[in-house]
Chain A
Amino acid sequence: MSSLSNLRISVNNLFVMIELELRRLRHDRTEIYTRAVQPVLWIVIFGPVIGNLRAIPTAGIPYTDYITPGILVQSMTFVSIFFGLTMVWEREQGILKKLLVTPASRYSTVIGRSMSSGVRSFFQVLIIVPIALLIGVRIVPNPLYFLTATAIIFFASGGFAAISILIASLMKSRERFMGIGQAIIMPLFFASNALYPVEIMPPVLQQLATVNPLSYVVDAVRSLMITGDLSNLLTDVIVIAIFDVVMFIIASISFKRIIE
């Protein structure tokens, strides 16, 4: 009975954390726009220019179309890693302490705050996709596919935010992790299938790409939005789910270090 009501409180806590994020965004949307600048440049400039070279084998898909899912996922990674860092550092020290003293479980607080980054990533999708359509990217015209892709981005975002909670818990000073966001995101991005197929990478990078969670997110989004070929989707979703669960557990444990 008691454990059931605890579960109810914890699930409720997840939704409250997401509501909080929506309320914050309603008051200040600046971050949504500024964070969208970089991905839009990739799609509007980098994509068409490199595409003209016809140097990258994309199995007949126009290059800009090919990288659009990769850019969406990169944008999500940026949003979630920085979200986690700022959440842990500075502004929310007192808030996190206070949340620990509520009846909601520590896990639900960590997962809830991580999933909130999914809210921000979701708005990135809403800005980037219309611009991609505008410059001629062809997206599979199936609303169900699109919704699934968005949901995958939303959930994966939580896992990446959890990574940054973990990293923040290992950092003793704020100065040390100012650059760390970039230092995680760019290697993840380049060692993935976001900009080019895994097959054309050097063998070492290929191996990295297969253990890189980003590759699976990109693959899932690409199959749903661009190719319509869902043969790998189940594997992708399973890998992403495992990644999320593992990261949530590790982040919840490391969370203890942050608040002590």
Chain B
Amino acid sequence: MDLAVDVENVVKIYEGKTKALDGVNLQVESGKVFALLGPNGSGKTTLIRILTTQFKPNSGRALVMGHDVTTESEKVRRLVGYVPQEMSVWTDITGYENLLIYAKIYGVPSETRKKLILEAIDSIGLSDVGNTLVKSYSGGMIRRLEIACALLVRPKILFLDEPTIGLDPVARKVVWEKLTSFKKEFGTTVFFNTHYMDEADLYSDQIGIISRGKIIKTGTPEELKRSVGGDVITFEIEGDTVDDHVFDIIRRLELVREVTIHNSELIVVTDDSETAMPLVVRLLEGEGVTVEKVSMNKPNLDDVFLKYAGTRLESGGSIKDVRQTRGRIRRG
């Protein structure tokens, strides 16, 4: 198996205190689309920045396309494309000029430069606005331009940090259409961070779930969802939680594969929802717990996340993240 990314026991501690990565182990196959899924603050960005040689891990080893990111960082930088979460194009020049500057930084020979840039502009659907200042672009157009800048030099692997954050659903879809077609055409490995589970589900071949600086589970979207198994029944109850003994009774029911409680939601995973649902409702009511709503779903990645990380994907998020997201939206 050809590995695009091979990470062993990587630890990163910021300023001697904050442990951003706590022994990450991860392998990504070449030619695949890999999604690193986790909530804000779980260490996704730190890992991507280590893999793109922006800083070194405190310990552990990370290889990108077979090269060590610490000792062979120059080789790695020649092979990777990178789109950071923040805006990475100049807004006071045109889209064409942005591509031109990046092409020159990478030393693309002048004979092929123009052709390459025009092709790139065309393939991301920005031909009409290539000579307009980036300032006037929408958020989605800016993202596509950034991806074009990264793909201009035909990297072996493309790292994207939250590629669609702050974009509306239509723009998100267009960004992914372009990424998918690039991947098909050039066989580029794509490694992206996201906290949108639908995005990881729809567009990745392989998902790594990260929580508190550790990869806690990897697999294809199907494998991960299957590992939760059965159906997911959510009981919305009155009050934040239930007594421990009630929780224990439900857990010991033969029908129940798994049970968790989180923010007034009692979540039961079962293979036989038709029988389990009334049973649990009766049991809860018998113990004096009022059930306000019941819903039943096939497991999604959020349930996967809940199973392995013990929290919901969308919970949490610091002020800083909110501000960054808002910032992007405003610029968009």
Interface residues of A (CB under 8 A from B): 2, 6, 8-9, 12-13, 16, 19-20, 23-24, 27-28, 91, 93-95, 97-104, 256, 259-260
A104: chain B residues at CB < 8 Å are: 105
Given the known inter-chain contacts A20-B101, A94-B86, please indicate yes or no for A100 contacting B106, CB distance below 8 A: no
Given the known inter-chain contacts A97-B54, A103-B78, A259-B54, please indicate yes or no for A16 contacting B87, CB distance below 8 A: no
Interface residues of B (CB under 8 A from A): 14, 49, 52-55, 74, 77-78, 80, 82-94, 97, 101-102, 104-107, 133, 149
* C-alpha gap A95/B149 in the complex (Å): 11
A8: chain B residues at CB < 8 Å are: 107
Given the known inter-chain contacts A94-B88, A103-B74, please indicate yes or no for A20 contacting B93, CB distance below 8 A: yes
Subset of 20 A-B contacts with CB under 8 Å: A6-B74, A8-B107, A9-B107, A16-B101, A19-B101, A27-B133, A93-B84, A94-B87, A94-B88, A95-B90, A98-B82, A98-B88, A98-B149, A99-B105, A102-B77, A102-B106, A103-B78, A103-B106, A104-B105, A260-B14
Kindly identify which residue among A24, A103, A256, A260 contacts B92, using a CB–CB cutoff of 8 Å: A24
Pairs of residues from A and B, 6 with the lowest C-beta to C-beta distance, nearest first: A94-B86, A94-B88, A98-B88, A101-B82, A94-B84, A97-B84
* C-alpha gap A97/B105 in the complex (Å): 14
B80: chain A residues at CB < 8 Å are: 101
B89: chain A residues at CB < 8 Å are: 95
* C-alpha gap A99/B101 in the complex (Å): 11
A28: chain B residues at CB < 8 Å are: 92
Question: Looking at chain A's contact residues, is the secondary structure mostly helix, strand, loop, or mixed?
Answer: helix
* C-alpha gap A94/B162 in the complex (Å): 13
* C-alpha gap A102/B94 in the complex (Å): 21
Given the known inter-chain contacts A97-B88, A101-B77, please indicate yes or no for A24 contacting B105, CB distance below 8 A: no
Q: What is the distance, in angstroms, from A113's C-beta to the closest C-beta of chain B? A: 12
B77: chain A residues at CB < 8 Å are: 101-103
B104: chain A residues at CB < 8 Å are: 12, 16, 19
* C-alpha gap A16/B106 in the complex (Å): 10
A97: chain B residues at CB < 8 Å are: 49, 54, 82, 84, 86, 88
Q: What is the distance, in angstroms, from B69's C-beta to the closest C-beta of chain A? A: 11
Q: In chain A, what residue has the closest Cβ to B14?
A: A260
Q: In chain B, what residue has the closest Cβ to A108?
A: B105
* C-alpha gap A13/B52 in the complex (Å): 19
Q: What is the distance, in angstroms, from A98's C-beta to the closest C-beta of chain B? A: 4
Q: In chain B, what residue has the closest Cβ to A2?
A: B74
Q: What is the distance, in angstroms, from B129's C-beta to the closest C-beta of chain A? A: 14
A260 to B88, Cβ gap below 8 A?
no
A23 to B88, Cβ gap below 8 A?
no
B53: chain A residues at CB < 8 Å are: 100-101
Q: What is the distance, in angstroms, from A178's C-beta to the closest C-beta of chain B? A: 18
A101: chain B residues at CB < 8 Å are: 52-54, 77, 80, 82
* C-alpha gap A260/B14 in the complex (Å): 8
A13 to B90, Cβ gap below 8 A?
no
* C-alpha gap A100/B133 in the complex (Å): 24
Q: What is the distance, in angstroms, from A37's C-beta to the closest C-beta of chain B? A: 21
B78: chain A residues at CB < 8 Å are: 103
B86: chain A residues at CB < 8 Å are: 93-94, 97
B82 to A24, Cβ gap below 8 A?
no
A259: chain B residues at CB < 8 Å are: 54-55
* C-alpha gap A24/B102 in the complex (Å): 15
* C-alpha gap A104/B74 in the complex (Å): 9
* C-alpha gap A9/B104 in the complex (Å): 9
A100: chain B residues at CB < 8 Å are: 52-54
A24 to B54, Cβ gap below 8 A?
no
B107: chain A residues at CB < 8 Å are: 8-9, 12, 103
B54 to A94, Cβ gap below 8 A?
no
A95 to B88, Cβ gap below 8 A?
yes
A260: chain B residues at CB < 8 Å are: 14, 55
* C-alpha gap A213/B151 in the complex (Å): 43
B90: chain A residues at CB < 8 Å are: 20, 24, 95
A24: chain B residues at CB < 8 Å are: 90, 92-93
B105: chain A residues at CB < 8 Å are: 12-13, 16, 99, 102, 104
A9: chain B residues at CB < 8 Å are: 107
* C-alpha gap A12/B91 in the complex (Å): 23
* C-alpha gap A72/B105 in the complex (Å): 32
B133: chain A residues at CB < 8 Å are: 27
Q: In chain B, what residue has the closest Cβ to A93?
A: B86
* C-alpha gap A27/B102 in the complex (Å): 18
Q: In chain A, what residue has the closest Cβ to B89?
A: A95
B102: chain A residues at CB < 8 Å are: 102
Given the known inter-chain contacts A94-B88, A99-B105, please indicate yes or no for A256 contacting B55, CB distance below 8 A: yes
Q: In chain A, what residue has the closest Cβ to B94?
A: A27
* C-alpha gap A94/B107 in the complex (Å): 21
Kindly identify which residue among B74, B85, B92 contacts A94, using a CB–CB cutoff of 8 Å: B85
A99: chain B residues at CB < 8 Å are: 105
* C-alpha gap A94/B82 in the complex (Å): 10
B106: chain A residues at CB < 8 Å are: 102-103
Q: What is the distance, in angstroms, from B230's C-beta to the closest C-beta of chain A? A: 43
B84 to A27, Cβ gap below 8 A?
no
* C-alpha gap A73/B257 in the complex (Å): 75
* C-alpha gap A91/B93 in the complex (Å): 14
